[in-house]
Structure 1
Amino acid sequence: MTKSLFLLPGDGIGPETMTEVRKLIDWMNQEKGAGFVLDEGLVGGSAHDAHGKAISDDDMAKALGADAVLFGAVGGPKWDDVPYDVRPEAGLLRLRKEMELFANLRPAICYPALAASSSLKQDVVEGLDILIVRELTGGVYFGEPKTITDLGNGQKRAVDTQVYDTYEIERISGVAFELARTRNNKVCSMEKRNVMKTGVLWNEVVSATHKEKYSDVELTHMLADAGGMQLVRWPKQFDVIVTDNLFGDMLSDVAAMLTGSLGMLPSASLGAPDPKSGKRKALYEPVHGSAPDIAGSGKANPIAMIASFAMCLRYSFNMIEEAAAIDAAVASVLEQGLRTGDIMADGCTEVGTGEMGDAILYQLRKSA
């Protein structure tokens, strides 16, 4: 059976890191008969330049029809002055909304070879393996009204609305509990119930969902600001963290830096299973963003993009062994001391984007 992948490299370092994933896909097709069928489109600033919008209707339709979408990055100074509704980031928000990708999975894993690269003490992060499950289609990023009103006399009022319904909290907490069962069976739910009504509802619904269906999983609750502090103090106390859109955005970036670099971390955004086929709409992307300061220089770290493809194999195609092989290849290359500039350390060898991708592919070939 063929497996359709729609590639959206985007802006900045997105196309460079996507090139390294293409190398792995081409090898898997040629040597393993993987059956991946690729198509490619535009998103973000590149789509704005071509179509006047952050993603065209045609490319949106292709994303909806694919088995999975691989996404690079969007944005950059070139598009700072474009209208708000067609800014590069609007393409990603449209993908999330129309594909109904409500569950964002962000792992924070510290490879043994990089434990010394973290800004925290080595014993704090060595062996770190956290999964943050972020609700992605609700909350303050999508709530209405969302306005800026001119009050006169030089004054304006901005309004963003934080909104959550019961079903949104039930389904994201269900994802977190299900994933915890495959890991260390612990979930920590984070919100701000002390000052936000959505936090009160979040806490109630997560607790009720746990009691009804997942009482075998250990559940704790923590205020999100305290959670940020605990992530820095002793992150290994956590297994799976479930939280809303706003706090998930912030906490996952905190967790990302525990590992040494944003260039190391992948993510997956998943929809609900189709009632008939069981398949989920899915988009996979690195956490790092477009990094316009190094775009085109060949310095970008492709590991987060490659690890995002490994997540795609795992969650969209159930290719567990192949995903594990890619993860092992990345770990092996790091153990050998190869580093891109963002993770460079004394005694290591600095390489560029293509060299890192080639080294990972070489290790994958060796293990095949």
Structure 2
Amino acid sequence: MSARLLLLPGDGIGPEVMAEAERVLECLKTHHGLAVEWSFGLIGGAAIDAHNDPLPAETLEAAQAADATLLGAVGGPKWEAIERALRPERGLLRIRSEMGLYANLRPAMLFSELAAASSLRPELVADLDILIVRELTGGIYFGQPRGIREENGERVGYNTEVYSESEIERIARSAFEAARKRDRRVCSVDKANVLECSELWREVVTRVAADYPDCTLSHMYVDNAAMQLVRAPKQFDVVVTGNLFGDILSDIAAMLTGSIGMLPSASLNARGQGLYEPVHGSAPDIAGQGKANPLATILSLAMLLRHSLDRGDLAERVESAVGSVLASGLRTADLAGDQSKPVSTQAMGDAVVAQLQS
């Protein structure tokens, strides 16, 4: 029985990088026996232009019916002036919320060939392999009340950071389950010395840890965690944290790997469905120029194969193909620096597909 996927190219460079991921899918189906079918949908700015809605009902219905969804990117200056509730990013937040995609997995793994491209010295990042587990449907991004109001003759903006025990427990369990497949170390990041919400976070994570005696739990304040990521990143194995802190820390981790264009992510719900997307944004400044790095999207597809389709064998094949292409010296503009001539988005996709066919 074929798995059903939904592809959402989105905006900016999204369609370009998605095209290369689709070619990888076609190769896996044709040459490696992957039983899969896929369809396309609209989200973000593309959906606004077509339906005046960043997440049309038909897109959400298709995502809910699919085994997994692969997303390109959303957003761009074209839609920055419209009503906040209709902006492209609201579509992304809504699909996460409507599908209950509470567990965001963001690996920061450094391909050895890219050690020189990292912002840190190669010896600090060689063999780096971190997994950031970010709670995705709670916290300050979704808390109520929120808004802007008049107060004492001036405008005041306000947002609410809120987490329930059950929300904290389920993301903590996701982190410990992931750690059991790795080095069995979990670092929980919070701001418990200042925030009551973080006090509860630390208490619940500590309680959950008792169910995982084979794993080691440590705690770290978020400001120190940010510093430690750039001082000694290899001290971490699995990092679990809330929505806001996870957003920031995962982007810091991105630069350790040489380029944000290399980082995939997975957002999972309790039913095993996932939304997979590169960490990078829509990069409207280079859209349509063939400069975008498609590897984060291709690696997101590898995560989809592993987590939603239970095809870890094909996931490893895709990741190995990416490693071989990098070892051959091919670099897109974000990785090339001054040392090599960059290749196009399509040329990088060509190389990955060629490796998969060999």
- CA distance in structure 1 between the aligned counterparts of 2:273 and 2:341, rounded to whole angstroms: 39
**Percent of aligned positions that are identical:** 54
Aligned letter for 2:310? Answer: N
Matched, 1:284 2:276: yes
Aligned letter for 2:160? Answer: T
Aligned letter for 2:182? Answer: R
Q: What is the match of residue 5 of structure 1? A: 5
Matched, 1:333 2:325: yes
Deviation at 1:157, TM superposition (A): 1.1
Q: What is the match of residue 87 of structure 1? A: 87
Asked if 2 retains the 8 angstrom alpha-carbon contact of 1:337 and 1:347, the reply is no
| SS of equivalent residue, structure 2 residue 144 | coil
| SS of equivalent residue, structure 2 residue 269 | strand
Task: Give the alignment's Cα RMSD to 1 decimal.
Answer: 0.9
The 5-angstrom pairing of residues 250-265 of structure 1 reads 250-265=248-263
Q: What is the match of residue 359 of structure 1? A: 351
Q: Deviations over 1:290-337 (max 9, x none)?
A: 000000000000000000000000000110111001101101111111
| SS of equivalent residue, structure 2 residue 304 | helix
Please, what TM-score do these two structures have when normalized by structure 1?
Answer: 0.96
Asked if 2 retains the 8 angstrom alpha-carbon contact of 1:141 and 1:246, the reply is yes
Q: What is the match of residue 205 of structure 2? A: 206
Q: What is the match of residue 165 of structure 2? A: 166
Q: Deviations over 1:94-139 (max 9, x none)?
A: 1100110000000001100000001111100111000000000000
Aligned letter for 1:54? Answer: P
Q: Which runs of 4+ in 1 moved over 4 A?
A: none
Q: What is the match of residue 51 of structure 1? A: 51
Structure 1 alignment gaps of length 5 or more: 274-279
| SS of equivalent residue, structure 1 residue 338 | coil
Q: What is the match of residue 177 of structure 2? A: 178
Matched, 1:245 2:243: yes
Asked if 1 retains the 8 angstrom alpha-carbon contact of 2:31 and 2:357, the reply is no
| SS of equivalent residue, structure 1 residue 227 | helix
Deviation at 1:27, TM superposition (A): 1.4
- CA distance in structure 2 between the aligned counterparts of 1:152 and 1:180, rounded to whole angstroms: 50
Q: What is the match of residue 236 of structure 1? A: 234
Please, what TM-score do these two structures have when normalized by structure 2?
Answer: 0.99
- CA distance in structure 1 between the aligned counterparts of 2:326 and 2:284, rounded to whole angstroms: 25
Aligned letter for 2:311? Answer: M
Q: What is the match of residue 276 of structure 1? A: none
Q: Deviations over 1:250-298 (max 9, x none)?
A: 000000011111000000000013xxxxxx1210000001000000000
Q: What is the match of residue 308 of structure 1? A: 300
Deviation at 1:349, TM superposition (A): 4.0
Aligned letter for 2:219? Answer: H
- CA distance in structure 2 between the aligned counterparts of 1:238 and 1:325, rounded to whole angstroms: 26
Matched, 1:36 2:36: yes
- CA distance in structure 2 between the aligned counterparts of 1:335 and 1:29, rounded to whole angstroms: 25
| SS of equivalent residue, structure 1 residue 219 | strand
Deviation at 1:32, TM superposition (A): 2.6
Q: What is the match of residue 298 of structure 1? A: 290
213, 219, 222: which one aligns with 2:220: 222
Asked if 2 retains the 8 angstrom alpha-carbon contact of 1:337 and 1:349, the reply is no
- CA distance in structure 2 between the aligned counterparts of 1:217 and 1:11, rounded to whole angstroms: 41
- CA distance in structure 2 between the aligned counterparts of 1:92 and 1:176, rounded to whole angstroms: 23
Deviation at 1:346, TM superposition (A): 4.9
Asked if 1 retains the 8 angstrom alpha-carbon contact of 2:188 and 2:241, the reply is yes
Q: What is the match of residue 196 of structure 2? A: 197
Q: What is the match of residue 96 of structure 1? A: 96
Asked if 1 retains the 8 angstrom alpha-carbon contact of 2:147 and 2:158, the reply is yes
- CA distance in structure 1 between the aligned counterparts of 2:148 and 2:159, rounded to whole angstroms: 9
Asked if 2 retains the 8 angstrom alpha-carbon contact of 1:44 and 1:92, the reply is yes
- CA distance in structure 2 between the aligned counterparts of 1:341 and 1:58, rounded to whole angstroms: 36
| SS of equivalent residue, structure 1 residue 272 | coil
